[in-house]
Amino acid sequence: MTDDKAKAALQGLPVQPDAGADGASSGRRAGWPFIAAYGMAYLGLWVALLPPILVELPMRVRELAPAHAAGGLSLVVGMGALIALFANPFFGRLSDRTTSRFGMRRPWLLAGALGGMLGLAVVATAVSIPQLLLGWCIAQLAFNAQLAALAAILADQVSSSQRGMVSGIVNLSLPLGMVGGTFLVEALEEFRLGVFLVPAVIALASTLALAWVLPDQRLAAGHGVRYGWREFFGSFWIDPRRFPDFSWVWGSRFLLYAGVSLLMIYQEFYLIDQLGCAPARVPHLIFLSTLVQSGAVAITGVLAGAWSDALGRRRVFVCGAALAYALALLMIALVASYAWFLVGMALAGGALGVYLTVDFALVTDVLPERETHAARNLGIFNIASVLPQALMPALAPAILFASAGSYAVLFVVAAVLSALGAWAIRPVRGVR
């Protein structure tokens, strides 16, 4: 170990492996075997995590509490999101300080995949709303521990000149995970345990593959910084006065995801109650809409990431995508048929693909204290994605009550929030 590395270890700072790292700090470009494994790990996570939100949780709530389906779904999704809200930055902080001989990120990748499988098993076998809630909270806790480690790997291992491209590949995993997961749900419809556990096994297998090829950073054993109450509460806060660019990007993501959350969570009820679709057909209709949206996300995400790297610009992509997503939500709010709903979902997917890809690269570019607190700070950024999933289910019933149950009004509100997300990018100054 060099003198610089020894000094870093004594201070509790991350220490790169002496050889074999593709990382950003080493100045090397990440190789394709690592990039492929990284994208597959994200894909496995989304396959396991997204279908329950899109299809199975609403269906399970309707089975267990048909008279209170909307309230039950809000409770389960909202509490799960609240767990995720604290879990991601908390486990990110622990990941930054992990002194395991297996590395800083690897233990959390594996523990998260295993814990997520356990939580989904509880969801599948639940016989009451409290049991369903418990299983979903376990799944959210575990998968967000894994997600915190995955997000930090981009800052650890990928150079700035590759982040747009790798972000595009990572965000390609989102639509593929949505499509693949909903396809598995439909294919395994008669086997409830398999609906949840087959995706969980896929998530575990892809995580094992990444853990195998990951040139993980290590802290020297015995030199980790003590984790006290100050450190715990610091896991959820970055001073906006010191890091204004990060704060504006955080605000933009929060507002955009407020709109995304309303569409994702209430899509099933919208199809049944507003478009008049038969409940028995809804899983197939959601699969089709997910396929359309995901195809658009995949195409625009990969193109936008590469284009953003080539031009050296991030803000114009993120701002324009948030505005486009708002327009797509307005269209969805006003349509009167499923065919036009699919058109709106395609437009929303195209906008979301650009936003997610370039915004991920943007926040990594402006990330405070990247060398020492990457996982913690990306965990704090992830709060902007998770918090709306807790807040919007709590606010949506009031909006629906005030509008006499109109999902059109709900999605107009979502469009306004997304448009504000575009405005929040304008003050960012550290990145073009």
Supply the DSSP symbol for 13.
Answer: -
Q: What is the band of 432 on the pLDDT scale with cuts at 50, 70, 90?
A: low
Q: What is the band of 174 on the pLDDT scale with cuts at 50, 70, 90?
A: confident
Segment of 100-109, 158-167, 192-201, 251-260 carrying the highest mean pLDDT: 251-260
Domain assignment present for residue 385? The answer is yes
Domain assignment present for residue 193? The answer is yes
Other Cβ atoms within 10 Å of 419 Cβ, number: 19
Helix, strand, coil in percent for the chain, rounding step 5: 80, 0, 20
Give the residue, 340 or 10, on which the prediction is more confident. Answer: 340
Domain assignment present for residue 89? The answer is yes
Domain assignment present for residue 100? The answer is yes
Domain assignment present for residue 296? The answer is yes
Give the residue, 140 or 96, on which the prediction is more confident. Answer: 140
Instruction: Give per-residue pLDDT as tens, 301-335.
Output: 878 877 887 787 888 899 999 999 999 999 999 98
Closest Cα partner for 139 from 67, 66, 60, 211?
A: 60
- Which neighbouring-strand residues pair with 218? 15
Q: What is the pLDDT of residue 371?
A: 64
Q: What is the band of 336 on the pLDDT scale with cuts at 50, 70, 90?
A: confident
Q: What is the pLDDT of residue 54?
A: 65
Rg (CA), the chain: 21
What would the mean pLDDT of 67-87 be, rounded to a whole number?
80
Domain assignment present for residue 377? The answer is yes
Instruction: Give per-residue pLDDT as tens, 380-395.
Output: 787 888 788 778 877 8
Q: What is the pLDDT of residue 219?
A: 66
Closest Cα partner for 12 from 96, 101, 109, 107?
A: 96
Q: What is the pLDDT of residue 232?
A: 60
Give the residue, 373 or 284, on which the prediction is more confident. Answer: 284
Q: What is the pLDDT of residue 388?
A: 85
CA dihedral 377, 380, 381, 383 (to 10 degrees): 160
Q: What is the mean pLDDT of the chain?
A: 81
Q: What is the pLDDT of residue 3?
A: 38
Instruction: Give per-residue pLDDT as tens, 2-50.
Output: 333 333 332 333 333 333 333 444 445 767 788 889 999 999 998 888 7
Q: What is the pLDDT of residue 235?
A: 58
Whether residue 429 has pLDDT greater than 50: yes
Domain assignment present for residue 5? The answer is no
Segment of 59-73, 121-135, 161-175, 360-374 carrying the highest mean pLDDT: 121-135
Domain assignment present for residue 10? The answer is no
Q: For tokens 């099933």, name the residue.
A: 268
Q: What is the pLDDT of residue 230?
A: 61
Q: What is the band of 228 on the pLDDT scale with cuts at 50, 70, 90?
A: low
Closest Cα partner for 13 from 29, 31, 30, 1?
A: 1
Whether residue 296 has pLDDT greater than 80: yes
Q: What is the pLDDT of residue 372?
A: 61
Give SS3 for 318.
helix
pTM: 0.67
Say what percent of the chain tops pLDDT 90: 26
Q: What is the pLDDT of residue 1?
A: 38
Q: What is the pLDDT of residue 98?
A: 82
CATH number reported for the structural domain that contains residue 250 in this entry? 1.20.1250.20
Q: What is the pLDDT of residue 185?
A: 75
Instruction: Give per-residue pLDDT as tens, 350-379.
Output: 999 899 888 877 887 887 766 666 666 777
Q: What is the pLDDT of residue 237?
A: 67
Count: domains in the chain: 1
Supply the DSSP symbol for 29.
Answer: P
Q: What is the band of 158 on the pLDDT scale with cuts at 50, 70, 90?
A: confident
Q: What is the pLDDT of residue 265?
A: 80
Q: How far apart are CA 122 and CA 125, in angstroms?
A: 5
Residue-number span of the structural domain to which 354 is assigned: 30-217+240-423
Q: What is the band of 220 on the pLDDT scale with cuts at 50, 70, 90?
A: low
